[in-house]
Structure 1
Amino acid sequence: MATIYLVRHGQASFGKENYDQLSKTGWEQGKVLGRWMAGRIKPDAVFGGNLERHRETVEAIASGFGSQFPDMQVAPGFNEFDHHEVLIRSRPEWVDRNVMARDLQAFPKPARAFQEAFVHAVHRWATGQHDQDYNETWPAFRERVLRAFDDMIEYVDGGDILVATSGGPISVICQHLLGLTDERALMLNEVIANASVSRVLYSGSRRSLSVFNNYSHLEAEDPALVTFR
């Protein structure tokens, strides 16, 4: 059976003007993954969404890999959902970044407060009770990701594939393969580490999740490289 390696992008630039760029840590995470892959894994094809953090993650992996690495083929279906829209539909006042910063600073742990607010916002989006508020609903997001997944498998036709994507698409694919509820899928999304690898085995129409959220390559090099946001 062939293998699909689902890689969550390296750490992005949270709190910066352009979130979509990898942070210094994100670049290092990708390079560590590339070094770990060298001699173990040689993908026949590489795919990713058209987000900057997906492209930069592949660049970092290729840098660490140290030899010829396939060019990334862009598949927008692997893009993450719109984090900004999901958040501000739940907290409209946070469209003003200064208001958001002020509100979060009122908590002893602002990062944890933001995470709790974001989890609440994602659950609001996924309930289906407010679909009119969103440009892309949760069901539409799932359909888009799974269509990209199927199209990619049909295109490659039996080779090993690396996909640079985000936590949301990885969660949706795992949900589909394991028959999980939406609630369980969202719980998976909360624990997927940056530059982690999940593996899907496939042959024809058979597809099985064999590994979820492996980041031992980061722990082995430097535990401080393990991040989730």
Structure 2
Amino acid sequence: MATVYLVRHGQASFGKANYDQLSPTGWEQGRVLGRWLANRLTPGAVFGGNLERHRETVEAITTGFGSQLPDMQVTTGFNEFDHNEVVTRFRPEWEDREIMTRDLRAFPKPAKAFQEAFVQAVRRWASGQHDGDYSETWPGFKARVLQAFEEMVEYADGSDVLVATSGGPISVICQELLGLDDARALGLNEVIANTSVTRVLYSGPRRSLSVFNNYSHLEAEDPALVTYR
């Protein structure tokens, strides 16, 4: 059986003007993963979404890998959902970033406060009770991720594949493979670490989850590199 390595992108730049780029920690996470993969994987193809953090994660992995990987094939189906839209539909006042920053600074741990709000915002989006508020519904998001996954497997044609993506798509793929309800799928999304590896085995029509959210490569090198946002 061949293996799909689903990699969540490295830590993005939370709180910066451009969130969609890796932080210095995110670049190091990618390089560490590349070194870990070097003796474990010879991918026949590399895929990713069209987000900057996906592309930069592949660049960082390549640096650590030590040899050239196949060019990343861009597939927008592996993009994350629009987290800005999801959050601002839950907290409309946060469309003004200065107001969001002010509100979060009122908490001892602003990042934790944002995460708690983010979880509630995602649950609102996925509830199906406010679909008219969003440009992409939760069912629509799941459908395009699964379509991208199947098209990628068909293209790979029995070879191992590396995919740089985000927590949402990884959760959806695991949900499909394990037959989970939406609540459990959203719970998975909350615990996926940056540059963690989720492995899916495939052969013909068979798909099996082999490993979920492995970040032992980070723990072995420096536990401080383990991040979730």
TM-score in terms of structure 2 length: 0.99
- 1:214 equivalent in structure 2: 214
* TM-aligned CA deviation for residue 173 of structure 1: 0.1
Runs of 4+ in structure 1 off by over 4 angstroms are none
Q: Say yes or no: does 1:36 pair with 2:31.
A: no
Percent identical among aligned pairs is 79
What is the CA–CA distance in structure 2 between the aligned matches of 1:210 and 1:92, rounded to whole Å? 40
- 2:145 equivalent in structure 1: 145
* TM-aligned CA deviation for residue 135 of structure 1: 0.1
* TM-aligned CA deviation for residue 162 of structure 1: 0.5
- 2:50 equivalent in structure 1: 50
Three-state SS of the structure 2 residue aligned to 1:70 is: coil
Provide the aligned length of Structure 1 versus Structure 2.
229
Offset from partner CA, 1:150-177 (integer Å, 9 cap, x none): 0111111111000000000000000000
TM-score in terms of structure 1 length: 0.99
**Residue identity matched to 1:62:** T
* TM-aligned CA deviation for residue 108 of structure 1: 2.2
What is the CA–CA distance in structure 2 between the aligned matches of 1:69 and 1:111, rounded to whole Å? 34
What is the CA–CA distance in structure 2 between the aligned matches of 1:70 and 1:155, rounded to whole Å? 14
What is the CA–CA distance in structure 2 between the aligned matches of 1:111 and 1:39, rounded to whole Å? 36
* TM-aligned CA deviation for residue 111 of structure 1: 1.5
Q: Greater CA deviation, 65-74 or 193-202?
A: 65-74
What is the CA–CA distance in structure 2 between the aligned matches of 1:203 and 1:60, rounded to whole Å? 29
Query: What are the within-5 Å matches in structure 2 for residues 1-229 of structure 1?
Result: 1-229=1-229
Three-state SS of the structure 1 residue aligned to 2:115 is: helix
Gaps of 5+ in 1: none
* TM-aligned CA deviation for residue 73 of structure 1: 0.5
**Residue identity matched to 1:172:** V
What is the CA–CA distance in structure 2 between the aligned matches of 1:30 and 1:19, rounded to whole Å? 17
Offset from partner CA, 1:171-205 (integer Å, 9 cap, x none): 00000000000000000000000000000000000
**Residue identity matched to 1:13:** S
Gaps of 5+ in 2: none
Offset from partner CA, 1:87-112 (integer Å, 9 cap, x none): 00000000011111111122222221
What is the CA–CA distance in structure 2 between the aligned matches of 1:61 and 1:93, rounded to whole Å? 38
What is the CA–CA distance in structure 2 between the aligned matches of 1:104 and 1:63, rounded to whole Å? 36
* TM-aligned CA deviation for residue 67 of structure 1: 1.1
What is the CA–CA distance in structure 1 between the aligned matches of 2:125 and 2:219, rounded to whole Å? 33
**Residue identity matched to 2:12:** A
* RMSD, aligned CA: 0.6
* TM-aligned CA deviation for residue 77 of structure 1: 0.3
What is the CA–CA distance in structure 1 between the aligned matches of 2:35 and 2:228, rounded to whole Å? 21
